[in-house]
């Protein structure tokens, strides 16, 4: 896996000298239906009463292209590659150099309505989970709902039906009846839930400014725990601000495991380069026996859109969870 | 006097704004398109028309015609569009093909069934089908 990554990175670096290369847009390999890109981020975290942590959060390489009705995408990512605890001379830095399969899929578009995806992909649930990488998301941190309500990745099929009218409607059917592709190939876990079954359905309604999303699904972990989830999301966006929220609940066969989990976020765009973000999150997780409500205040400066300098502070109902996050991220 | 200069400038600017037409291959089954559908095609939210894969064509960013098209149809600034295509890059989508001139667009559309592009209204001939005409 490491060699594939190095080969991709080498190709990218040598091809990026081409005149047409623009940061954040990838580069085409010759005239083949093959584009290469990637992203990286470095994060600094200072939690209340704890040591400061510097992390080379992720490095990823993507390759994709399309030919007639087919398209494909491969994304290999190394996460938390280098970690160093600052201010603690006794702690040792931690280095992980293993690359995981983040996404690996082939799409077949039958016509303007039906599309079939086979492989490992971001579960099309909610809005945040569709573009989860640091450089493109609004804040360095992810809302809790995107990590604890449903599997962030699915390895199986996704059948999509789209109807374009005044409001575009898209229906997704997710089906997974095996382990994660990363587990099958590398015997490693690279998902927020270690699952071997996932069935879900979602409906997205969308026009220029407003989007709604409703999802429901069922998944089973490898230790035979069954969970059901329901999620509703909305987004309103114009050139000066964005308002976005997601709310969900999760249950197993006996009880409600997450009675509620939600966030509401307001993003204000100041010119093209500056964004201010206020996000309120709240949840009750019975499995972890935790409830928390907190506010995230963030500011993002993008000297160029594919380069994001982000800062955020989180005020939790548990003081020890309060934290400052700073990050630099780049899309290639 | 200032008012006269202002009116003359306004007149010149109005006359210099190029009218464009959106065209497709004669064998394509599309008859006409609304602005919303054109926008969704140019943002590649819609990539097929029935069973036909669409090949969307653009002119260079410096082209006045492209600027008129983006203002009239997409309603997005050049920067907003750049940002949009960077998000699509993560999703494995590319921007429309860029051709050098309206003549290249016209020739391409004549050859490829699913091709869609915009050209000055004066370039149109009987071998292509007009899907949309700008009013300005």
Give the pLDDT of residue A255: 94
Give the pLDDT of residue B136: 64
**CA B113, CA B53: separation in Å to the nearest integer?**
9
Give the pLDDT of residue A165: 82
Report, as an integer, the average pLDDT of A43-48. Answer: 93
Give the pLDDT of residue B95: 95
**CA A160, CA B82: separation in Å to the nearest integer?**
27
A26 near B CB under 8 A: yes
**CA A248, CA A258: separation in Å to the nearest integer?**
8
**Closest CA of chain B from A287, distance in Å:** 33
Report, as an integer, the average pLDDT of A262-285. Answer: 95
Nearest CA in chain A to B37: A164
Please determine, for residue A12, whether its predicted confidence score (pLDDT) is greater than 60.
Answer: no
A25 near B CB under 8 A: yes
Mean pLDDT of all residues in chain A?
A: 91
Q: Which of A65-79, A194-208, A288-302, B70-84 has the lowest mean pLDDT?
A: B70-84
Residue to substitute from B37, B83, B90, B100, interface A, most A β-carbons within 10 A? B90
For residue A25, the chain B residues in CB contact (below 8 A) are 85-86, 89
Give the pLDDT of residue A175: 98
**CA A321, CA A306: separation in Å to the nearest integer?**
30
CB atoms inside a 10 Å sphere around CB A87: 10
Q: Report A:156-175 residues touching B (Cβ under 8 A).
A: 162, 164, 166, 168
Contacts for A288-293: CB closer than 8 Å, 24+ residues apart: A291/A317, A292/A144, A292/A316, A292/A317, A292/A318, A292/A321, A293/A317
pLDDT band at B15 (very low <50, low <70, confident <90, very high): very low
For residue A64, the chain B residues in CB contact (below 8 A) are 92
Give the pLDDT of residue B8: 57
Contacts of A151 by beta carbon, 8 Å cutoff, 6+ apart: A123, A191, A192, A193, A195, A198, A219
Please determine, for residue A253, whether its predicted confidence score (pLDDT) is greater than 80.
Answer: yes
Contact B85 A168 (CB under 8 A): no
Residue to substitute from B35, B81, B89, interface A, most A β-carbons within 10 A? B89
Please determine, for residue A86, whether its predicted confidence score (pLDDT) is greater than 90.
Answer: no
Q: Which residues pair with A295 in a beta bridge?
A: A280, A315
**CA A247, CA A257: separation in Å to the nearest integer?**
15
**Token couple for A198:** 């996932």
Q: Which residues pair with A44 in a beta bridge?
A: A54, A326
**Closest CA of chain A from B93, distance in Å:** 8
Q: pTM of the prediction?
A: 0.89
**CA A305, CA A327: separation in Å to the nearest integer?**
15
Q: What is the pLDDT of residues A177-229, one digit of tens each?
A: 999 999 998 888 889 999 999 999 999 999 889 999 999 999 999 999 999 99
Contact A24 B48 (CB under 8 A): no
CB atoms inside a 10 Å sphere around CB A255: 9
Please determine, for residue A118, whether its predicted confidence score (pLDDT) is greater than 50.
Answer: yes
Report, as an integer, the average pLDDT of B44-67. Answer: 94
Report, as an integer, the average pLDDT of A265-294. Answer: 95
Please determine, for residue B13, whether its predicted confidence score (pLDDT) is greater than 50.
Answer: no
Percent over 90 (pLDDT), chain B: 75
Q: Which residues pair with A43 in a beta bridge?
A: A55, A327
Please determine, for residue B7, whether its predicted confidence score (pLDDT) is greater than 90.
Answer: no
**CA A326, CA B130: separation in Å to the nearest integer?**
52
pLDDT band at A79 (very low <50, low <70, confident <90, very high): confident
Mean pLDDT of all residues in chain B?
A: 88
For residue A305, the chain B residues in CB contact (below 8 A) are 79, 82-83, 86
Number of residues written out for chain A: 332
């Amino acid at each position: 896996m490491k060699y594939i990554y190095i080969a991709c990175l080498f190709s990218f670096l040598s091809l990026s000298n081409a005149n047409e290369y623009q940061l954040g847009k990838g580069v085409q390999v010759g005239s083949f239906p093959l584009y290469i890109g990637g992203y990286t981020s470095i994060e600094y975290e200072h939690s209340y009463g704890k040591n400061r942590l510097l992390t080379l959060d992720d490095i990823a390489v993507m390759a994709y292209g399309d030919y007639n009705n087919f398209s494909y995408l491969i994304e290999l990512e190394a996460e938390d590659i280098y970690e160093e605890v600052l201010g603690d001379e006794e702690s040792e830095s931690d280095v992980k150099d293993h690359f995981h399969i983040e996404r690996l899929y082939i799409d077949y578009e039958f016509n303007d309505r039906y599309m079939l995806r086979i492989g490992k992909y971001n579960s099309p649930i909610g809005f945040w989970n569709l573009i989860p990488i640091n450089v493109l998301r609004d804040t360095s941190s992810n809302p809790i709902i995107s990590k604890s309500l449903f599997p962030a990745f699915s390895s199986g099929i996704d059948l999509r039906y789209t109807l374009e009218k005044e409001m575009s409607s898209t229906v997704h059917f997710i089906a997974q009846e095996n382990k994660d592709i990363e587990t099958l190939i590398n015997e490693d876990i690279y998902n927020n839930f270690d699952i071997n079954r996932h069935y879900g359905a979602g409906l997205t309604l969308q026009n220029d400014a407003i989007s709604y999303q409703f999802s429901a699904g069922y998944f089973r972990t490898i230790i035979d725990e069954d969970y059901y989830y329901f999620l509703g999301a909305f987004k309103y966006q114009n050139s000066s601000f964005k308002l976005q929220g997601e709310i969900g609940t999760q249950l197993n066969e006996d009880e409600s495991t997450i009675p509620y989990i939600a966030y509401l976020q307001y993003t204000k765009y100041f010119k093209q380069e500056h964004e201010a973000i206020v996000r309120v999150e709240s949840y009750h997780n019975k499995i972890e026996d935790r409830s928390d409500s907190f506010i995230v205040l963030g500011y993002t400066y993008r000297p160029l859109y594919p380069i994001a300098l982000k800062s955020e502070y989180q005020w939790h109902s548990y003081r020890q969870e309060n934290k400052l996050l700073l990050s630099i991220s780049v899309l290639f | 006097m200032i008012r006269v200069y202002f009116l003359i400038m306004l007149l010149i600017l109005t006359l210099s704004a190029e009218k464009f037409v959106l065209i497709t291959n004669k064998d394509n089954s599309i008859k006409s398109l609304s602005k919303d559908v054109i926008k969704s095609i140019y943002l590649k939210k819609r990539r097929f028309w029935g069973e036909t894969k669409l090949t969307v064509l653009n002119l260079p960013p410096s082209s006045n015609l492209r600027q008129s098209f983006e203002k009239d149809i997409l309603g997005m600034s050049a920067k907003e569009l750049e940002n949009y295509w960077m998000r699509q890059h993560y999703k494995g989508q590319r921007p429309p093909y860029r051709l050098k001139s309206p003549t290249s667009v016209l020739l391409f559309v004549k050859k490829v069934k699913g091709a869609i592009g915009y050209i000055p209204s004066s370039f149109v001939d009987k071998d292509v089908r007009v899907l949309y005409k700008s009013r300005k």
